[in-house]
Amino acid sequence: MILGGVCFMLRPRSATALSSRLPRRLAASSSSSTTSQLSSSSLASLEMIEKDSPRQSFQVTAPYEPMGDQPQAIEQLVKQLDEGDRFSILKGITGTGKTFVMSHCIAKHGKPTLILCHNKTLAAQLARELRSFLGGNAVELFVSFYNHYIPESYNEASGRYVAKKSSINQEIDAMRHRATRALLMRQDVVVVASVSCIYGLGLPTEYLDASMNLNVGDVVEEGPEDFLSQLDAMLYVNEQTDDEFGRGTYQYNQTLAECDIIVWPPNESFPMKIKLRSEMTSSSPSLWKVKYIQQGHSMGHSDIDSTCLFPAKHHVMPEERLEAACLDIEQELRERVKELMSQRKFEEANRLQQRVSNDLLLLRETGFCPGGENYSRHFAQRAAGEPPNTLMDYLGLDGREWLLVVDESHVTLPQLRAMYAGDRARKQRLVKHGYRLPSALDNRPLRDDEFWQTIQKGVFVSATPAKQEMEWAERKPIDMVIRPTFVCDPVIEVRPIEGQLKDLVEEIQSRAKRQERTLAVALTKRDAEDLSDYLNEHSISSAFIHSGLNIHERADALKALQNGKVDCLVGVNLLREGLDLPQVSLVAILNADSEGFLRSETALLQTVGRAARNAQGKAIFYANRITASMDKCLVGTKERREKQLLYNLENGCSMKSAKGSSVLSIFDLLKDQIAAEQPLQVVGREHRTLDVKKDGDVLDDEFRVRSDVMVQVPEGEARDLINTDHVPSSPGVYFWKDENGEILYIGKAKRLRTRVKSYLRPKSRHSARIEVMLDKARRIDFVLTGSERDALLLESNLIKHHQPPYNILLKDDTSYPYICASVGDQYPRFFATPQRQDRLASSKYRYFGPYPHYNECNQILEAIESQYDLRAKSFMARHGDMTHEDYLEIFDAAINENFGSSSSKLNRLRSKFEEAGHLFDSEYNVCRDVVSFTKIPDQNESTGLVHIVQLREGLVAGQFSYECKIPSGMSNEEDHAAVIAHVLERQHYPSGEETLDARLSFFPTEILVPHPIVGSATRLKQVIQAAQTKASPSSTGKQERVAIRTVAKRGVRKKSDEVALNLCVENAGQAAYDKALESIQGSVKSSVDGTALKELQKLFNLDKKPSRIECYDISHNHGDFPVGSRVVFIDGKKEPSLYRKFNIKSVDGVDDYASLQEVLSRRFQRAWVNGAGGAVAENDPWSLPDIILIDGGPGQLNSAVDALVSQRIFPADGFYNLPTKGSKRSATVVVCSLAKGVNRKKDDLYVYGSNEPINTSTDSPALLLLRSLRDESHRFALNAHRSRRSIRKST
**Which residues, 6+ apart, have CB-to-CB distance to 47 below 8 Å?**
none
CA dist., res. 944 & res. 979, Å (int): 9
Query: For 1080-1137, what is each residue's pLDDT tens digit?
Result: 544 334 444 567 888 888 888 888 889 999 999 988 776 677 889 999 998 888 888 7
What interhelical angle do 346-366 and 320-342 show, nearest 10? Answer: 170
Structure-model confidence comparison of residues 387 and 1181, the more confident one: 387
How far is C-alpha 524 from the chain's CA centre? 28
SS (H, E, C) 940-960: CCCEEEEEEEEEECCEEEEEE
- Looking at residue 136, its pLDDT comes to 84
Indicate the Cα dihedral angle 416, 422, 423, 427, nearest 10°.
170
Exposed, middle or buried, 341 (CB in 10 Å: 0-12/13-18/19+)? middle
**1026 vs 672, residue with greater confidence:** 1026
> Which stretches within 817-853 are classed as H helix?
none
Question: What span, in angstroms and rounded, lies between the C-alpha atoms of 201 and 397?
Answer: 14
What's residue 33's pLDDT? 36
Give SS3 for 541.
coil
C-alpha 1245/C-alpha 1235 separation (Å) is: 7
Q: How far apart are CA 908 and CA 898, in angstroms?
A: 9
Q: What is the pLDDT of residue 26?
A: 33
Q: Which residues pair with 1120 in a beta bridge?
A: 1117
Question: Quick one: pLDDT at residue 16?
Answer: 30
Q: How high is the pLDDT of residue 413?
A: 92
Among candidate residues 697, 704, 693, the one with its CA nearest the CA of residue 254 = 704
DSSP character at residue 916: G
Specify whether the CB–CB gap between 888 and 825 falls below 8 A: no
Q: DSSP letter for 1053, please.
A: H
CA distance 640 to 610: 15
Residue 14, helix vs strand vs coil: coil
- Cβ distance 949 to 959 under 8 Å? yes
- Three-state SS at 1212: coil
With vertex at residue 547, the alpha carbon angle to CA 543 and CA 549, rounded to the nearest 5 degrees, is 55
Its pTM surpasses 0.75: no
Q: What is the mean pLDDT of the chain?
A: 79
- Quote the CA–CA distance of 27 and 230 in Å, as a whole number: 8
**Contact call for residues 310 and 325 (beta carbons, < 8 A):** no
Say whether the peptide bond before residue 414 is cis (omega within 30 degrees of 0): no
Q: Which residues pair with 493 in a beta bridge?
A: 620
Which residues, in sequence order, are bridge partners of residue 952?
927, 955
Phi/psi-derived region of residue 248, left when phi > 0, alpha when psi is between -120 and 50, beta in every other case: left
Report which of 275, 250, 245 is spatially closest to residue 262, judged by C-alpha positions.
250
The residue type of 154 is: Y
Per-residue pLDDT tens for 1040-1050? 788 898 998 88
Structure confidence by residue, pLDDT tens digits, 1182-1209? 888 999 999 988 889 989 999 998 888 8
Cα 834 from Cα 814, distance rounded (Å): 9
Of 114, 115, 118, residue with least CA distance to 418: 118
Q: Quick check: 260 pLDDT over 70?
A: yes
Q: Which of 86-90, 252-256, 357-361 has the lowest mean pLDDT?
A: 252-256
CA 446 vs CA 3, 37, 400, 460: distances in Å: 20, 19, 20, 19
pLDDT at 1280: 80
* pLDDT score of 167: 76
pLDDT tens sequence across 530-585: 999 999 989 999 999 988 887 678 878 888 888 889 999 999 876 665 677 888 99
> Greater confidence, 286 or 716?
286
Q: How many Å apart are CA 6 and CA 145, to the nearest integer?
A: 11
Confidence of residue 333 (pLDDT cuts 50, 70, 90): very high
Determine the pLDDT at residue 1086. Answer: 47
What lies within 8 Å, CB to CB, of 83 at 6+ separation is: none
What's the confidence (pLDDT) of residue 587?
A: 94
Q: Given a cut of 50, is residue 714 above it in pLDDT?
A: no
Provide φ and ψ at 1248, rounded to 5°: -65, 135
Interatomic CA distance for residues 941 and 935, integer angstroms: 6
Average pLDDT over residues 185-194: 91
Q: Is the pLDDT of residue 700 over 50?
A: no
Nearest to 852 by CA among 860, 844, 843, 840: 860
CA 1283 vs CA 77, 241, 352, 1289: distances in Å: 63, 12, 46, 10
Contact call for residues 1011 and 1046 (beta carbons, < 8 A): yes
Q: How confident is the model at residue 1289 (pLDDT cuts 50, 70, 90)?
A: low
Q: Look at residue 758 in the predicted model and tell me its pLDDT.
A: 82
* Non-local CB neighbours of 951 within 8 Å, separated by 6+ positions: 919, 920, 925, 926, 927, 928, 929, 930, 957, 1060
pLDDT digits (tens, 9 = 90+) for 953-963: 777 888 888 88
Tell me which of 597-611, 639-653, 712-726, 979-993 is least confident.
712-726
Task: Name the residue with higher pLDDT: 991 or 673.
Answer: 991
More confident residue, 418 or 269: 418
- CA torsion angle for 1153, 1157, 1159, 1163 (degrees, to 10)? 150
Residue 1263 has pLDDT above 50, yes or no: yes
In DSSP notation, 352-383 reads HHHHHHHHHHHHHHHS-BTTGGGGHHHHHTPP
The pLDDT, as a whole number, for residue 316 is: 64
Contact assessment for residue 704 and residue 691, using Cβ atoms and an 8 Å cutoff: no
Q: Supply the pLDDT for residue 951.
A: 87
What's the rounded Cα separation, in Å, for the pair 227 and 940? 69
Q: Are 168 and 247 in contact (CB under 8 A)?
A: no
| Dist. CA 810–CA 798, nearest whole Å | 10
Beta bridge partners of 1095: none
Specify the pLDDT at position 72.
92
Task: Specify the DSSP element, H or E, that contains 425.
Answer: helix 409-432
Question: What residue ranges in 1009-1107 does DSSP mark as E strands?
Answer: 1043-1045
- Stretch 1269-1288: mean pLDDT: 78
Span 387-397, mean pLDDT? 88
Question: Is 558 in a helix, a strand, or coil?
Answer: helix
List, in sequence order, the alpha helices (H) in 457-545.
467-472, 500-513, 525-537
Q: Is the pLDDT of residue 662 over 60?
A: no
- The predicted-structure confidence for 230-244, as pLDDT tens digits, reads as follows 888 787 877 766 666
Angle at 227 between CA 225 and CA 229, to 5 degrees: 70
pLDDT exceeds cutoff 90 at 506: yes
Residue type, 1113: D
Average pLDDT over residues 319-335: 87
- Integer Rg of the chain from CA: 37
pLDDT for the residue numbered 660? 59
pLDDT at 434: 93
Per-residue pLDDT band for 625 (boundaries 50, 70, 90) equals very high
Asked if 875 contacts 495 with a C-beta cutoff of 8 angstroms, the reply is no
pLDDT of residue 880: 75
Q: Which of the four pLDDT bands, split at 50, 70 and 90, describes residue 1259?
A: low
